[in-house]
Amino acid sequence: MVQTTQDPTHATISSHRVEGTAVYNLAGERIGRIEDILIEKVSGQATCAILCYAGALHTGGARFPIPWDCLHYDTGRKGYVVDEDQLKAAPQIDHDRYGGDLPWREGVFAHWAAPPYWFGAGPRPDPKARR
């Protein structure tokens, strides 16, 4: 389990500081970096980070959206930690699909078992149950 801490003096962070931050797998190996952040237009909520993956199978830098709530910052590594096996099976993103349509977003959030941000507060239905 990755140990994370929150610094109460820094409740917010500039996107400039997040972009370029290293991403590690559970074994502590660097597998990529945060390339971008997706922000919901109306609420201003950060919804996903775009991870540029540089793993052995994706030498071209495949890009994966990861729901913001699924990123775990490791203060010891000064980077984010994700499960690389889960990442390899995740939906990818390309420049012309930022945000994607609803079924695509549902797939991303279901893959990461993250509550969809577009349902607002309260209980969130399982996207798989709607199909």
Give the model confidence (pLDDT) of 112-129 as tens digits. Answer: 999 888 776 444 445 455
Distance in angstroms (rounded) separating the CA atoms of residues 92 and 65: 7
Alpha-carbon separation of residue 42 from 39, 107, 118 (angstroms): 9, 21, 11
Domain spanning 18-120 has what CATH number? 2.30.30.240
Give the model confidence (pLDDT) of 14-63 as tens digits. Answer: 787 888 899 999 999 999 999 998 888 888 888 899 999 986 554 567 89
pTM above 0.85, yes or no: no
